[in-house]
Structure formats: C-alpha cells, structure tokens
Amino acid sequence: MRLYSLHKAAAVDLEPGGGQVFAGERVLAGRARITAKGAVVSMDGGLKTAAAKHITISAYGTGIWLSGKGLPRRLYRGKLVFSAERGRLKIINTVELEIYLAGVVSGEAGDLSQSEAYKAQAVAARTYTVTHMNNHSREGYNMCDSTHCQLYTGLGTISAKAREASDATRGELLFYKGRPASTFYHSACGGRTETMTHVWPYEHKPYLISVRDGPPGAPYCAPATGFFWKTKIYFTGLTRLARAAGWITAGEEARGLRISAWGTSGRAAELELYTRSRRVTLSATDFYHGIGRRAGWKAIRSSFYKIYQNKDHVLLEGKGSGHGVGMCQWGAEGMGRKGYNYREILQHYYPGTEIYND
Ligand SMILES: [Zn+2]
Ligand SMILES: [Zn+2]
C-alpha cells in the first residue's frame, strides 16, 4: 500500500517505536531521515546510506513512527520501501490484511458506537479490499491510503472497537453468486440508498439496488451529523466553478440549474445548467465531484437534494452524505441501536448476498 499518497514530501523522519527496526541488514537504533533527490533516496541520522534507488526498512514490535514537514505523524509496521520520483518520496508498506482492515474500520466507523455496525463495516471493508486489490497495480502497488481506495492512517489510530470487529469477523467476505461482492458504502443515505446505475451509469450489480433505510419518516441514519443540509450557490460562483470544470466556456455565464432526471431513491441523477443561450446536461455525479473538488466536499454533501431557483442564486436543500450506493454507515449504526446484528445489517444493504469465511 502506498503511504501518504496525497502528500508530496521530499523528506520523512523516522523514529523507532520500540522493537527492532532494520534498514536493509543493519539495525536502526535512533532517529533518521530519508530524503528524496531526483530519482534516488538517501538516509542520514541514526544510520547513513549512500544515494540508492530504494531503502528498505523492516519494523517489528511496535513499529516505526513517520513524520515530517507536511506529513502527519503516523505509526507503521512491517516492510517499508522508500524510493523517489522526481524528487518526491514514494513509500510502499506491506501490511497484513487484518491489521490494514482494523485501521480502515477505525477511520471509517470512527464516529459510530455500535459493535454490530463495526462488524458490518469490517466485512464490507474486507470484501472491498479483496475486490479492489488491483486499483494501483499499474503503478506498482495494490492500494493507496486515501479515500480514493480506503482511508488508512496507520496503527497509531486503530481503536479497540475496530480491532474487535475485525477479529470477530476474521476472514469473512460477502459473496454474490459465488464471487466476492462490490461492497460500496457511504456515510448516510438520507432515508433511501440508490441503485448503482443512477450514480455510475453503465455499472450495475443486482445487490446494489435502492433500499428504503428504515420506516418512512424515521430513517435508520437519522442520527448522522449533518443529515439535513442547505447550500446557497450564487451564479457568479457557479459560473467560476462551471468554467473551471469545463461545463461552460469562458465567455458563458451560469444563470440557472435544475434537476432533469431522478434515480430510484429520489436523488438527482441528471442536471441541466443554463446559460443565456443554451442548456448543458451533466450527470449529478459529475456535478457532485466537480463542485466537491473545487469548493470542498462539504458544499454539496450528496446528490439527494431539491433545487430552489432565485434571482441571483440557487438554494440546494439536501439529505445525507456520500454517493448513496450500498451500505449506509449511519444506517448500520441505527440498525445496531435497534438490535439488528451485522449479518442482518449486511443483508439489508446488499440484498441477495451471503457471508462466507474464506
Ligand atoms: Zn487509491
Ligand atoms: Zn441511511
């Protein structure tokens, strides 16, 4: 797995956390720093090495703390290979699946409290890992540590609940017709999950269909923070974002926005953006990503909204957060509070799938 995949650092500080740490064959006793220069890396401090293509660190016991300018301090264990690409560090860590999983569950379920929700998250994340193992194989590693794959911030942030959940479900995977399922999940569906095709056109899985998340008016995910949200977008701002995203040309101005097609859940599936002279059709998913990337992911939290048009702005009133496909994490929490176990939770969000122990 690639560590610090969204950071662009040229140097990283190493600090053994207890237990033996080796750099190649030699013991690393104290702190050291690895620096990238062009296509090579070198180490100084506790141990010095000449410039090389790779430096391999093996950390046993507690592991090794990494930190540095622009790099949050994180604890890792096992084999770490440091190399350089155009003066930037590339760090690949070989990590055991169950440890990785406890880390992912800690990050993904950090706001939840129900142990059954943690277990459901563990099975979903384990299955997601197995089915997305080749996300970055062309770049020479399996997965990255950002939400592009699954968020993983090392051993230092693993919670007891997450470790228990991955232990209790050790090896369990969700299958559909004999093959591991694509276990997409998201924060809060807003009352109804969405059929995959309406979020990612041309993609379909029989178990990723819209399900009602609890009784009408009392969705399981109601306790989610920011369940209801409102965002005002002025046409001046929308124009800037739409030009940057390439939805309109530099000479055009955004004058309006409306939903032109809906998914099964009632989420927007397709939007029309108006200028003085024409309308541009875009998928709600492209809009969500386009705005999120440029204005922050809190501006539009999901595609589950209504649009109110005003003179100089549109008002979006929405529910839930995330893409809405597969398991609703806050809904799993709500189901846990109502006494459902993790098997029932998974069955609810991925109908027709079965748990197998690999
Ligand atoms: Zn990735
Ligand atoms: Zn929900």
Q: What is the pLDDT of residues 311-338, one digit of tens each?
A: 999 999 999 999 999 999 999 999 999 9
Q: Which ligand minimizes its atom distance to the CA of 132?
A: 1
Give the Cα separation of 78 and 96 in Å (integer): 8
Q: What is the pLDDT of residues 232-270, one digit of tens each?
A: 999 999 999 999 999 999 999 999 999 999 999 999 999
Q: Decide the pairing of beta strands 185-186 and 327-328.
A: parallel
Q: Which ligand minimizes its atom distance to the CA of 138?
A: 1
287: CA distance to ligand 2 center in Å?
A: 22
Q: Which ligand minimizes its atom distance to the CA of 335?
A: 2
Give the Cα separation of 175 and 66 in Å (integer): 37
Q: Which ligand minimizes its atom distance to the CA of 134?
A: 1
Tell me the two tokens of residue 299.
């501006």
Question: Mean per-residue pLDDT for 191-212?
Answer: 95
332: CA distance to ligand 2 center in Å?
A: 8
65: CA distance to ligand 1 center in Å?
A: 22
Band of pLDDT at residue 295, cut at 50, 70 and 90: confident
Indicate the pTM of the whole model: 0.88
CB count in 10 Å sphere of residue 211: 21
Band of pLDDT at residue 108, cut at 50, 70 and 90: confident
Exposed, middle or buried by CB within 10 Å (0-12, 13-18, 19+), for 215? Answer: exposed
Give the Cα separation of 284 and 307 in Å (integer): 12
134: CA distance to ligand 1 center in Å?
A: 9
Give me the residue spans of the domains in the chain: 2-94, 98-222+325-357, 228-319
Amino acid 76: pLDDT: 96
Amino acid 293: pLDDT: 85
Tell me the two tokens of residue 9.
């650092």
Q: What is the pLDDT of residues 95-106, one digit of tens each?
A: 999 999 999 999
Which of 62, 80, 59 minimizes the C-alpha distance to 155? 62
